[in-house]
Amino acid sequence: MWSPGHIAKAKKKIAEFVKVVNYVLEVRDARAPFATGAYEREKLFRGKRSVIVLNKSDIADESTTKSWEEFYRNRGESVLVTKKGDRSRKLLRALFGEGKNVKALIVGLPNVGKSSFINRMRGRRSLRVGGVPGITRGVQWIQVNDRVKILDTPGILYSELFSKELAAKLLLVGSITIEKVDDWEIREIAFEILRKRYPSVVRNIAGDVSSFEEFIESFGRRRGMVQKGGSVDREKAAHKFFHDMYIGRFGKMSFESPEDVFSE
Ligand SMILES: Nc1nc2c(ncn2[C@@H]2O[C@H](COP(=O)(O)OP(=O)(O)OP(=O)(O)O)[C@@H](O)[C@H]2O)c(=O)[nH]1
Ligand SMILES: [Mg+2]
């Protein structure tokens, strides 16, 4: 698993390597592009040419992803929307055109799909990827083809975990996992984000419930997570629920849109 120590080390490496690359690819989770952009971007990139890569678009809401794409484009950013199964040739052309001697650094929060994206660009699976954050440990150069080299890096985060709402969104997309979030208030905020945006999904999962307590209770009972004595194992139920969220098992969903993040 990752820890603040690993993250600090990764940031140091990124700051060092950013000097020798000509591109920075910022991978974010399309379901929460603002929340998964929460790291010291300006400080780390220092004016390098960067591309915002909205990954996992297969499990995000399509029209919300379009709004994000437009939003960032209007701010003068380059954006690439991608998902599992995208073809290597198409991605390389969109990112680097006919460019030669491309050296790109890939950065992003844990578990957003950085290593998977490199495998996708290479057209084969060679880097280890996984459902939990902290799979990539050190930085390493990957030769994609004779024109393109990419530096994979471990996921990074702010060292201080900011607002509870941000933590809740990162929990929904799996950049921080439920094992690390024993604060039920953050879990509850995550649930409220979901309920506000997708009340029908909540109903499908757990029926008519009026609180997170009731939701977990009903979800756990429906999944048979009942302990001796008949009570629901709430911890187990919460783990199952959030793990299923990370991987998009409940359908295509986005947890924020530009209007709610930038509405003043
Ligand atoms: N549905 C979906 N899942 C994806 C996509 N890209 C990656 N994943 C999954 O997301 C999980 C994390 O992928 P990784 O490539 O290991 O993520 P990472 O950013 O390299 O993670 P760390 O190295 O731990 O920081 C894996 O289970 C992948 O299969 C995608 O486009 N769509
Ligand atoms: Mg990785």
pLDDT score, position 131: 67
More confident residue, 128 or 165: 165
Task: State pLDDT tens for residues 188-197.
Answer: 999 999 999 9
What percentage of the chain reaches a pLDDT higher than 90?
74
CATH code for residues 164-257: 1.10.1580.10
Pocket test for ligand 1, best of 6, 120, 122, 129 (most atoms within 8 A of CB): 129
DSSP structural state of residue 145? S
Q: Kindly tell me if the per-residue pLDDT of 44 is higher than 90.
A: no
pLDDT score, position 264: 58
Sequence-distant contacts of 11-16: CB under 8 A, at least 24 apart: 11/40, 11/44, 11/156, 13/138, 13/139, 13/153, 14/44, 14/105, 14/107, 14/139, 14/153, 14/156, 15/44
Q: Kindly tell me if the per-residue pLDDT of 5 is higher than 90.
A: no
Both tokens assigned to 145: 């083809």
Q: For residue 151, how many C-alpha atoms fall within 13 Å in the half-sphere facing its CB? A: 21
DSSP structural state of residue 98? T
CB neighbours of 96 closer than 8 A, spacing ≥ 6? 23, 102, 104, 147, 148
Calculate ∠ Cα 243-249-259, nearest 5°: 90
First to last CA, the chain: 38
How far CA 107 is from CA of 26, 51, 73, 115, 251, in Å, comes to 5, 10, 19, 10, 27
Among protein residues, the one with the nearest Cα to ligand 1's atom 13 is 113
* Per-domain residue ranges of the chain: 4-152, 164-257
Segment 112-138 shows an average pLDDT of 82
48 C-alpha vs ligand 2 centroid, how far in Å? 22
DSSP structural state of residue 232? B
Among protein residues, the one with the nearest Cα to ligand 1's atom 32 is 56
More confident residue, 45 or 103: 103
CA distance 207 to 223: 13
Segment 59-80 shows an average pLDDT of 97
CATH code for residues 4-152: 3.40.50.300
pLDDT band, residue 133 (cuts 50/70/90): low
Burial of 90 (0-12, 13-18, 19+ CB in 10 A): exposed
CB neighbours of 140 closer than 8 A, spacing ≥ 6? 151, 152
Q: Kindly tell me if the per-residue pLDDT of 68 is higher than 50.
A: yes
pTM: 0.94
pLDDT band, residue 1 (cuts 50/70/90): very low
Pocket test for ligand 1, best of 13, 14, 61, 111 (most atoms within 8 A of CB): 111
